[in-house]
Amino acid sequence: MCDDVTTRRPTREDEGAALVMVLVLMMIASFIILPLSGYVAAVGKQRTATADKLSSAEATKAALRVALVEPATLFSECGTKSTGTSPLVLPAPMLAESVVSKCYLIAASAGVPISSLPHGTTTTVAGSTQPSGAWFVGSTAPTSGSADPAAWRSNTAPTKTAQTIWSPSVPSMAVYPRASIPYDMPALYKPCKVFFPGRYTSAVTITGSTPVYFTSGVYYFEQPVTISGNAAVVVGAGSNKGCVDSDQVAAFYATDAPTRHGITGLGATFVFGGAGRLVVDGSTAGTSTSLLFNKRYVSTADQVLDSTNEVSILSVNGEVLTGLVDTVRANLQVPASVLSGTGALVDPVLYKPSTLLPGGPTPIIDIDLLDARTATIQIPGYVAVPQGTISITTAAAATTKKTVRIYGGILAGSLELSPDLPAVFEVGYRNPVTMRTFKIESVASKNSVSSTAIVQVKENGVYAVNSWWFDN
Amino acid sequence: MKQARRRLRRGTADDGGFSYVELVVAVVVLGIIVVPVFDVFTSVIAGSSKATAAVEVDLVMQSVADRVNRAEMGCDYTPYAEAAAEMAGWPASATTVSHMRYAAGAGGTVTWIAGACPAGGVNVTLVQLVQVSMTDPDTGATRTLQVVKSDV
């Protein structure tokens, strides 16, 4: 029997039967395994996708928040380095999930229509030379350089009025007396010296390489403010970033900061009375000097301070200390300054009229850039010094690396320029872009999650997120 | 007739079933297939359980993100994360929160320094990085999320 079995087993029909069985079973098993595998993969993938999308969405939100951390910087950087089709890549927010943020400039708008602007440049001294050249921007008052020294007075206005000469009044007294020495920021912060608004009756000299920041507000100086050496000075909060994050940070943390800080609005206004003047002294050893004003913004409802809105430098005018009211010379007539709000003549004890008249040896604004240093002077607000001289001097061999821009309008006794001018030179009134609209796109590295925001940013750093949507 | 009888005899012999060796081979091969199938079953069940736990952590993290995003600017967002954990029936210890704040780096780069607030507390320019880790106390599933907080 056994022999029969063994001899029968290898018959041709039985060969490979086990293989067939296995194949059939494998097919049956695959019907079970494949759907199960699919289910496991789907569940796993779904869980990961949910988790990652949350992370990616937060990363794109973070990108916009970081982009807006310094809106004034965004205003200038994205406003000048991008277009609607060519974006500026913004700094990465440095999170666990990487995200790329791009800024597109969508629109820009000027502060006011050009037709409603006051005259950009006015000189009050009879027969003074009107500015001219490619560097001049804006319109010149027709009375500039007139033989009649009183001619310009017939077309003035205390506020910005179309086709008039803007002659702003002085603000309420900056009452807090200050020493001429700035406050230090503590060691926790980067090196920085801080001034606070108030009344400065001693000369202020800024010459070291430690950056200096004037917090926003009104400063009254009766003695010269001198910028020299390697000074790096920012005046007021705005698109030019100071050495502290904000006015509030300076008020809170400056060592021995005054309890009455006097900070108002954004940007700052320098008011010069007595012998007060602004000097940029290029004769002191140094390699780089900068003085950057940020345009002053205050509420127009503030009757005490509104006259400083968009004004960077003012002089106190008149001769009330001598018993006269107006400054009256053969070639110069300037009405005495009045207080904003009340229109009353200034108290000569608190506000001393400027003694720096045209023709004298000391200009009220004296920018002297004769050596080879790098120098940047930027004054974007109005400069109203109708009984003073603005002098800008550059040597022939020293025009490179020099930037002087006074483009918020000028009312001055006279404007004296050296034959050689800074390489970048702009004087007059340029109708500036005050608000820009950006599209900020942030794309996470994973999961195709992105966010797009339309943001309006003003020059002074105020911003609004108009819309913000996510794709995921 | 002889041929038919031979064919019949042969057919009878072929219907005799599989040999012992064949059966053993089939069982072994089947075993090779069935064992992974059971493994798959096991992993599906375990994976499904893990996925459920992870999804639960994700849901809690979504709640955390929502709470932190909606919270007023402050210097400690731990209570918001703990509240989200407690809503899921988890202890407050299930969450770990760390705080940092923005600081401008060299060349406009972004850096984060320790602490949600500077010494004086919240200020208008503050941008904070809140990192929340959440662990399901039952399954040990853990997720970490970074939320950047500002007044935007």
DSSP one-letter string for B83-120: HHHHHTT--GGGEEEEEEEEEE-GGG-EEEEESSS-TT
d(CA A123, CA A359): 13
Alpha carbon distances (Å) from A267 to A3, A188, A214, A410: 113, 25, 9, 18
- Chain A residues in contact with B120 (beta carbon < 8 A): 252-253
Query: What per-residue confidence (pLDDT) applies to A16?
Result: 59
d(CA A156, CA A440): 44
**Least CB–CB distance from A253: residue in B51, B58, B120:** B120
The residue type found at A341 is G
Query: What per-residue confidence (pLDDT) applies to A2?
Result: 45
Mutant choice from A4, A43, A64, A73 vs B, greatest count of B C-beta within 10 A:
A43
ipTM comes to: 0.74
Of A432 and A144, the one with more pLDDT: A144
Q: Where are the alpha helices (DSSP H) in A189-301?
A: 247-253
- pTM (two decimals): 0.66
Q: B128-135 and B95-104 as β-strands: parallel, antiparallel, unpaired?
A: antiparallel
Quote the percentage of chain B above a pLDDT of 90. 45
Quote the percentage of chain A above a pLDDT of 70. 92
CB atoms within 10 A of CB A255: 10
From A63, A60, A65, A70, select the one nearest A457 (Cα to Cα): A70
From A75, A67, A455, A83, select the one nearest A294 (Cα to Cα): A75
Query: What per-residue confidence (pLDDT) applies to A367?
Result: 95
Half-sphere exposure (CA, 13 Å, Cβ side) for A276?
25
> pLDDT tens for residues B79-100?
999 999 999 999 999 999 999 9
**Least CB–CB distance from A465: residue in B10, B41, B152:** B152
> pLDDT tens for residues A185-209?
998 788 999 999 999 999 999 998 8
DSSP letter at A8 equals: H
**pLDDT at residue B118 above 80?**
yes
**Least CB–CB distance from A22: residue in B26, B61, B148:** B26
Query: What per-residue confidence (pLDDT) applies to B34?
Result: 78
**pLDDT at residue A124 above 80?**
yes
CA distance A289 to chain B (A): 20
**pLDDT at residue A77 above 50?**
yes
From A57-71, A120-134, A278-292, the region with the lowest mean pLDDT: A120-134
Quick check: helix, strand or coil at residue A282? coil
Of B149 and B36, the one with more pLDDT: B149
Query: What per-residue confidence (pLDDT) applies to B2?
Result: 57
Cβ contact (<8 Å) for A96 and B149? no
Alpha carbon distances (Å) from A245 to A62, A393, A467: 20, 34, 27
Q: A288-293 and A374-379 as β-strands: parallel, antiparallel, unpaired?
A: parallel
Query: What per-residue confidence (pLDDT) applies to A1?
Result: 44
With cut-offs at 50, 70 and 90, classify the pLDDT of residue A18: low
The end-to-end CA distance of chain A, in Å, is: 76
Of B5 and A465, the one with more pLDDT: A465
> pLDDT tens for residues B52-82?
777 888 889 999 999 999 999 999 999 999 9
d(CA A342, CA A173): 13
> pLDDT tens for residues A135-184?
888 788 888 888 999 999 999 999 888 889 999 999 976 679 999 999 99
**pLDDT at residue A386 above 80?**
yes
**pLDDT at residue B38 above 90?**
no
- Chain A residues in contact with B148 (beta carbon < 8 A): 58, 61-62, 65-66, 93, 95
Q: Dihedral sign for Cα B88, B89, B90, B92, please.
A: positive
| Mean of pLDDT over chain A | 87
From A102, A109, A110, select the one nearest A78 (Cα to Cα): A102
Cβ contact (<8 Å) for B18 and A17? yes
DSSP one-letter string for A335-354: PPPBBTTT-PBP-TTTSPPP
**pLDDT at residue A451 above 80?**
yes
**pLDDT at residue A15 above 60?**
no
Query: What per-residue confidence (pLDDT) applies to A422?
Result: 93
Of A312 and B16, the one with more pLDDT: A312
**Least CB–CB distance from A58: residue in B10, B48, B65:** B65
Query: What per-residue confidence (pLDDT) applies to A174?
Result: 66
Query: What per-residue confidence (pLDDT) applies to B7?
Result: 52
Q: Which residue of A has its CA nearest to B100?
A: A95
For residues A308-333, give the mean pLDDT: 89
